[in-house]
Structure 1
Amino acid sequence: MEEHNLKITVYGAEEKCASCIHLPSAKETMEWLEAAVLRKFPELDFQFEYIDIDVPGEKEVHIKYAELIKADEFFYPLVVLGNEVIAEGNPNLKEVFKKIEHASNE
């Protein structure tokens, strides 16, 4: 299999969303997701990134997603693989794995 560099960005905030009270924080979700993905796909090269929507930095793409989340277009944590939103809110690992398999075969 050809080696790919797959970038996964997780957007979230320190404060949990109202419907996420009993779920892990966005940062904890990213750490859990990273561990699960690396276990499932040890042959692939991943880059993980966490972006706080309250301080998204200067990259236009991060600012865009932060603004969309704040405008209630997406729930956080929002998981983006490359340029594709693959999960929001409480991510479903099965769905995330399917999207990664698809992206790694392109």
Structure 2
Amino acid sequence: MAARGKVSDARAGVRQRKWLIKSAAARWSHPRGAIHAGAIHAGAIHAGAIHAGAIHAGAIHAGAIHAGAIHAGAIHAGASEIHLIALECEKTDFFSPLWLLPVVL
């Protein structure tokens, strides 16, 4: 009986770890500008233009881009190109090496 209890306890531990991993992934992929697994989360690009939320530049830390994701004046409705986008990190002192990022939509 003791052996059975240990096996079920081990399985419960595995289930708990899986739940923790899933909940952490859910937090990081939440559509409030967070980027998950080095890609742009759903809702970051909208209707052929960059939507306020996130830009993929390798990986951008959650909430690190100033003014809702793109510096003021960088998005124009219906524009096919955005030449220079200044990415400014507000919550850290880190400045992306791609702070002048040419983006062609």
TM-score (ref. length: structure 2): 0.24
Which of the two has greater strand per residue? 1
Give the greater-gyration-radius structure (CA).
2
Looking at secondary structure, tell me which structure has more helix per residue: 1
